[in-house]
Amino acid sequence: MTWRIPLFDLDYGPEEENAVLDVLRSRWLTMGEVTQRFEQAFAESCGVKHAVAVANGTVALHLACLGIGIEPGDEVIVPALTFVATAACVRYVGATPIFADVTSEKDLTLSPESVESLITPRTRAIILMHYGGYACDMPAFRALANKYHLKLIEDAAHAPGAALDGSRAGSWGQVAAFSFFSNKNLATGEGGMLTTDDDEIAAYLRRLRSHGMTTLTWDRHRGHAWSYDVTDLGYNYRPSEMLSALGLVQLAKLDANNQRRRELTAAYHELLAELAPQVGVPFADHPGAPACHIMPVLLPEGSHRPDFMDAMKTRGIQTSIHYPPIPEFTAYRATAGGLDGLPVTRAVSSREVTLPLYSRMTQDDVREVVQSISEILRVR
Ligand SMILES: Cc1ncc(COP(=O)(O)O)c(C=O)c1O
């Protein structure tokens, strides 16, 4: 299907094509010098000591759990309203994800109060997902982490470049995981990154990403080593040089593209204010400079979401939902107990619709989307 206004579109051009061609012509395809440059540039952009590139955001989350020592029997508190990988990574290491509510209809990030009510002697960590590129309440979560001696992992898949109180997403937890999946603000198709200020964790993550080996094929190619030891049960979670080359170009565009996303989001908010209170607009007032990854709205109570999305589709406008809550999935329902005790997640997850947002979108596109919403819902 060709959309007149798609949910997302890449900002790709000759720069990306040339970067990949340069790698192909260099005849070195697996993790090497380009990946090192991408890691350095990414660490600098987040203001952290270390960045470790990996194959995707899901394995970044897996390594984040291993990196801070989550073990079987531990509990890790995660939002119910997030992509399934935020919880799956906890299960990969034999621990139990405990699902907390989000804050309110105006703020779909994790609720510190809900998290605190779920802390037990087995709780080891909290995974903070910066929903939509909007920062979680970091002062509140830092206070909770100090009070209960918990570790903080950031799931920053939506938030590359997001800032709060002068620092950036990726620098707020012990370790953070990013995704460069095709629809992300920094897109390389597949791809991910871990960030941390901790030297030991960084070294451990680097070993785990490549079979637990003490040297890399790249080191051996450069004549720096001819053998290796295996010190940990590791994985092959490495990125390719093509991916890292795309990442470097996309990173250079990130701040300008995030600024454009903020402008488009502001335009949405201004126009959607005329459809209030029937249409709810989360994050109309959120601290810091968000990455504005997605544009969520809440349909009026009692609307039929599939009909609404179909009507938008008929006009060539693509919409989506973020997210079907994890505790309702078949693979989670039995152990997670559904949405009991998560009233905000229950209320918003059936009404949320995600509108198109991407840096190349125009203000006219935004006007057309909002006009279509008002006509379909007959509000205003
Ligand atoms: C919040 C969140 N966490 C984790 C992931 C997993 O990232 P990936 O698709 O790169 O494995 C995604 C994205 O797809 C995501 O949106």
Q: What is the DSSP string of 51-98?
A: EEEES-HHHHHHHHHHHTT--TT-EEEEESSS-THHHHHHHHTT-EEE
pLDDT of 225: 80
How far is the centre of ligand 1, averaged over its atoms, from the C-alpha of 80 (Å)?
14
pTM score, whole prediction: 0.97
Encode pLDDT of 10-44 as tens digits: 999 999 999 999 999 999 999 999 999 999 999 99
Residue-averaged pLDDT of the chain: 96
Decide if pLDDT at 197 tops 80.
Answer: yes
The DSSP 8-state label assigned to residue 50 in this structure reads E
Decide if pLDDT at 380 tops 70.
Answer: no
pLDDT of 186: 98
Instruction: Check 106, 147, 184, 253 and give the catalytic one.
Output: 184
- The verdict on the CB of residue 240 being under 6 Å from ligand 1 is no
Distance, CA of 52 to CA of 42 (rounded, Å): 9
CA geometry: angle at 58 spanning 52 and 61, to 5°? 60
| First vs last C-alpha separation in the chain | 31
Beta carbons of 73 and 95 less than 8 angstroms apart: yes
Of 190, 194, 209, 158, residue with least CA distance to 322: 158
How far is the centre of ligand 1, averaged over its atoms, from the C-alpha of 170 (Å)?
15
How far is the centre of ligand 1, averaged over its atoms, from the C-alpha of 358 (Å)?
17
Decide if pLDDT at 264 tops 70.
Answer: yes
pLDDT of 194: 99
Distance, CA of 346 to CA of 355 (rounded, Å): 20
Structure tokens at 281: 């607009």
CA dist 260 → 252, 253, 293, 319 (Å): 14, 11, 11, 20
Residue 351's identity, in one-letter code, is R
Distance, CA of 193 to CA of 343 (rounded, Å): 33
- The verdict on the CB of residue 181 being under 6 Å from ligand 1 is yes
The DSSP 8-state label assigned to residue 232 in this structure reads S
Structural domains in the chain plus CATH codes: 14-101+109-252 (3.40.640.10), 255-377 (3.90.1150.10)
Burial of 36 (0-12, 13-18, 19+ CB in 10 A): middle
Of 359, 318, 229, 272, residue with least CA distance to 4: 318
Collapsing DSSP to helix, strand or coil, 165 comes out as coil
Shortest-distance atom of ligand 1 to CA 82: 1
The pLDDT of 50-74, averaged and rounded, is 98
Beta carbons of 297 and 353 less than 8 angstroms apart: yes
